[in-house]
Amino acid sequence: MNHAVDIALFVHVLSMTVWVGGMFFAHFCLRPAMSDLSPQLRLPLWEGVLGRFFVWVAVAILLILLSGGFLMSRFGGAQAPWPIHAMTGLGVVMMLIFGHIRFGLYPRLRRAVQGQKWPEGAKAIGGIRRLVTVNLVLGIVTIALGVLGRG
């Protein structure tokens, strides 16, 4: 049983690292490095980079839910300390925001790139950037709650 908890924690933290670390890299390293490129180069590059990243985020979300659900069952659900409930709540908000990015804004970026409509593409990537920033902040708070909840 203890090994199962260790494995679940490992999977939980690894998945969270891929998701939050990827957002950190995109926001603080890739975005500033690409800012001098023309929209004709920048937007197709974002489309390719994000399309690949979002597949990994979807895998990470699935694993976070499975491992988090398993770890939660150890506390008997409602008996878990408040930071764990807060982590779960914020985690779900992050997942909803990701869903909006992936299924709302990203298809707009893809259509704009395919139709070479650069102003529309720039608008879509601007929306994605804002929501990724929100999710990055929520992710950092969620990590703090997860660590606090270890009790």
Residue number, 41 or 96, with CB nearest to ligand HEM: 96
DSSP state of 29: I
Least Å distance, CB 73 to ligand HEM, is 8
Which tokens in the block code for residue 143? 């990590």
Per CB under 6 A, 65 contacts ligand HEM: yes
Indicate which single residue of 43, 53, 125, 146 sits in contact with ligand HEM (rule: CB under 6 A).
146
Q: Is the dihedral of CA 99, 103, 108, 110 positive or negative?
A: positive
Indicate which single residue of 11, 26, 57, 88 sits in contact with ligand HEM (rule: CB under 6 A).
88
Distances (CA, A) of 66 to 3, 51, 84, 101: 16, 23, 15, 22
Indicate which single residue of 22, 57, 91, 109 sits in contact with ligand HEM (rule: CB under 6 A).
91
Q: Which stretch binds ligand HEM (CB under 6 A): 24-32, 85-93, 99-107, 118-126?
A: 85-93
Q: Which stretch binds ligand HEM (CB under 6 A): 30-38, 42-50, 114-122, 135-143?
A: 135-143
Cβ contacts of 140 within 8 Å, gap of 6 or more: 20
Is 65 within 8 Å of 72 (Cβ atoms)?
no
